[in-house]
Every structure is written in C-alpha cells, then in structure tokens.
RNA sequence: GGCGGCAUAGCCAAGUGGUAAGGCAGAGGUCUGCAACACCUUCACCACCAGUUCAAAUCUGGUUGUCGCCU
C-alpha cells in the first residue's frame, strides 16, 4: 500500500500543503497529531477548519474527549485500519502531522502486543513516592541493566515504564526496543511510503511561531481554554498537557498575567519545534523540504512532493 | 558644572585578593503504550587603560558609559 507522509515541526504549513496535495492525487488525510484527536482543542492545536480542509476527508481529528487518554498503541492500530480502508477505496492516504513517535509507530508497525493485565505502573509509582528515584532506578539496574544504561535515573517516567514492561512480560524492554528499532534501520515497513518533513531556517520558524501564537490569541484561544478550565478537569489529563492549554491555566487561576502566559506559550512552542526537528533528524529519516526556499508556495511544495514520490501517473 | 552609586554571558544576578554560583533565554541530544510527555548535556578570560601583588572580577589611579541627587 502506498502512503505519503508529511511531517515537520509546528507552523511549517503542513495543513495547507497536504490539502493541496490531496486534491492533486485523489487522496485523503490522516492526522498524525497527538492533540488534534481531542474534541474542544481547536485553536491551540491549529486544527484545520472546514474551509481549510477544502472538501478533503480528514481522519483522527476530534475522535476523543479530553477526559480520555490517547496512546500510541491505540493510535497506531486505528490508523492502520484507516490506511487499509482508504487504500481499498482506491485513494492514497496522506499522513500529516508532527507527532514523530506516532508516525514511526505506524510506519514501522511497532509491536504493541503487550497486554497490560496488572497495574504495575501504580505499584512502581507508589514505590517511587516511598523510596525515591535512586531506589527505583536500582530496581531497573537489577532486572534490565541495558535499559538502565540508556535511561537517566531522573527520568522516572521511563524508568517506571521499563519496570512495568519487565514485570508484565518477563523480559526487558531493551530487548523489545532493539527489535523494533532494527525495523527502522533496515527500513522494514508494511507500507510503500515516501516520507517528507517540511522545514525552514530556525529564525524564520521561530518568528512564524511567535506570530502564530498572537494570531491564536486573536482568534479566541483564551476563550477556548477558559471553557476547558471551567469544566474543572484533572489537569494531569494528557489533553490538558497540550501546548497552548497548560500554559494558560495559570492565567485563569490568577497566578500570571496575560502577557506572561503568552510569552511562556511562545517559548514552549519554540522548544517543542526544536524537539520535533531533533526527532526527525535522528529518530526517522524523512526527505526534508525547505519551504522557505520554495517561497512558502504550497502549490510548488505539493508539486515537489509529487515529483519526489514518483506520483506523476496521477 | 558638582557630588554619589553602578559597570560580571543575550537578559537577570551572586561573588571584596587565589584563577567566575544560580536562574532565564539560546544551542545540542535521548526517546518505542501518558510523546505538544519525560529526561540529559552545554554556554563568560568579569567596560577599557595603567598600577599594587607571587596572585585582581575583587585593591589604587585614570578613561568611557550609565543611573540618581544637587546647582
């Protein structure tokens, strides 16, 4: 099955390019974004609106309530089915988004067969609170020294996951990771794919991000977040950890001013973009398209993608 | 014009004789069931000139800049 991926850091214009491309090659779009899955998070996640979608079908948007938690395992299997459906209808799926972790999971069909039957996570979390991270890490060194050499002791979240994995499966997660990783190194994918990442010079990207945040504010970001805030949801929910949401909460609690909160939001978005770039540079191997060199012209960019994907036949 | 204070990284800021805390911003990374998460690494010859001293960001003199007060 042929698929096209368009990734890249936030604010590079993925939406516009993908819709344009979809029209040219008779495609449908699957969003590869860990936050756009949630209903009610529209402005802050830069979700495409009806007009921007321009008649192209989009999937994986607004499929969960903020009270539900998305996970890679679920996301991967859902997208897998969608790809089959779309292909079966004779259309090409374009996967678009910035969540590199999810993209790799789909692209290389990461194995998530592990069934979580016992709540080891809660167990180890409790242990951590009682004995601290050193003791927790010592446990990992015992059962999975290889992971212990990779995961920093401060990274409690990952240490707990590694411990959970071992307890659940009886073999170390480092073994699992190695197996999954080699799929990427050897490029073993169930799909016939072409993977692009849009990018541009750092300075340009950062000023676009700053401008976009201002625009979001103008478009009612505060109003959107206030609605969520007023629902009184648990702030630890994955949806409320999204950039644009967690930053504004202190404003509604009266802890920070509007301007302060906006500056932090801009900074966090910049950092996020930087992390995304690092991911695409090292954890996957897309063809980078420098959109500033193409004058941000989505028409040109879409055509470049068609050429590089050998899709001329469409 | 006079008097006084201050000049330390992009910003804030400790440090009053022994060869520069910390925070923020920035940069570089890690990552396989919370990933827009979590975590790691990194970043200065202390305004300039001359002097004292084995040794100065730290003391002395001067220059420049800056802030405050006075006239």
| Span A246-292, pLDDT tens digits | 999 999 998 888 988 999 999 999 999 999 999 999 999 999 999 99
ipTM of the complex in this document: 0.91
Closest-approach nucleotide to residue A156, Cα vs C1':
B38
Instruction: Tell me the pLDDT of chain A averaged across its residues.
Output: 94
Contact of A11 with A198, CB cutoff 8 Å: no
β-strand partners of A69: none
Q: What is the structure's pLDDT at A313?
A: 45
Residue A206 (CA) to nucleotide B26 (C1'), in angstroms, measures 12
C-alpha A162, offset from chain centre: 21
- A62 Cα distance to chain centroid: 15
Tokens 């993209």: give the residue: A103
| Nucleotide nearest to A244 in CA–C1' terms | B36
Distance A139 CA to B61 C1' (A): 65
In angstroms, the CA of A263 and the C1' of B24 are apart by 12
Q: Would you say A95 and A79 are in contact if contact means Cβ atoms under 8 Å apart? A: yes
Asked whether the beta carbons of A39 and A13 are under 8 A apart, the reply is: no
Residues 6+ apart with CB under 8 A from A237: A66, A67, A69
φ and ψ at A290, to 5 degrees? -85, 100
User: What's the CA–C1' distance between A89 and B22, in Å?
Assistant: 61
Instruction: Report residues 188-227 of A contacting strand B, contact meaning Cβ closer than 7 Å.
Output: 202, 206
Instruction: Give pTM, 2 decimals.
Output: 0.92
Cβ-based burial of A33 (10 A; exposed 0-12, middle 13-18, buried ≥19): buried
For residues A95-117, average pLDDT: 93
For chain A, percent of residues with pLDDT exceeding 90: 92
Q: Is the pLDDT of residue A241 over 80?
A: yes
Residue A228 backbone dihedrals phi, psi, to 5 degrees: -65, -45
Distance of alpha carbon A189 from its chain centroid, rounded?
19
Q: Which nucleotides of B are covered by protein (CB under 7 A)?
A: 24-40
Backbone angles phi, psi at A181, to 5 degrees: -70, -35
Cα-Cα end-to-end distance for chain A: 15
Residue A261 vs residues A241, A255, A307: alpha-carbon distances, Å:
15, 10, 43
| pLDDT at position A115 | 82
Q: Are A234 and A53 in contact (CB under 8 A)?
A: no
Distance CA A110, CA A37 (A): 20
pLDDT at A59 over 80: yes
Average pLDDT over residues A209-237: 94
For residue A312, pLDDT beyond 80:
no
Which stretches within A108-257 are classed as H helix?
120-143, 145-150, 156-169, 173-185, 202-218, 221-230, 249-252
Rounded distance between C-alpha atoms, residue A47 and residue A35, angstroms? 9
């Amino acid at each position: 099955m042929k698929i096209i991926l368009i990734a890249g850091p936030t604010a590079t214009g993925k939406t516009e390019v993908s819709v344009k491309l979809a029209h040219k090659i008779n495609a449908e779009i699957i969003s590869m974004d860990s936050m756009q899955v949630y209903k009610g998070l529209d402005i802050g996640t830069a979700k495409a609106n009806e007009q921007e979608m321009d008649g192209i079908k989009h999937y994986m948007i607004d499929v969960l309530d903020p009270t539900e938690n998305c996970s890679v395992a679920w996301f991967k299997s859902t997208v897998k089915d969608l790809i089959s459906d779309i292909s079966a209808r004779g259309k090409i799926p374009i996967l678009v988004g910035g969540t590199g972790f999810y993209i790799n999971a789909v692209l290389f069909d990461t194995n998530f067969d592990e069934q979580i039957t016992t709540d080891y996570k809660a167990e180890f979390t409790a242990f951590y609170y009682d004995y601290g991270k050193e003791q927790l890490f010592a446990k990992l060194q015992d059962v999975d020294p290889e992971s212990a050499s990779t995961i920093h002791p401060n990274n409690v979240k990952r240490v707990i996951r590694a411990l959970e994995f071992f307890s659940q499966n009886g073999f170390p997660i480092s073994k699992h990771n190695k197996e999954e990783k080699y799929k990427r190194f050897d490029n073993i994918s169930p799909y016939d794919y072409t993977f692009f990442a849009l990018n541009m010079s750092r300075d340009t990207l950062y000023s676009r991000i700053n401008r976009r945040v201002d625009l979001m504010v103008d478009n009612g970001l505060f109003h959107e977040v206030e609605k969520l805030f007023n629902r009184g949801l648990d702030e630890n929910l994955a949806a409320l950890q999204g950039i644009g949401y967690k930053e504004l909460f202190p404003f509604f609690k009266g802890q920070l001013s509007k301007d302060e909160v906006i500056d932090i939001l801009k900074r966090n978005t910049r950092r996020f973009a930087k992390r995304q770039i690092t991911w695409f540079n090292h954890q996957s191997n897309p063809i980078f398209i420098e959109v500033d060199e193409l004058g941000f012209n989505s028409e040109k960019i879409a055509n470049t993608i068609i050429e590089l994907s050998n899709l001329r036949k469409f």
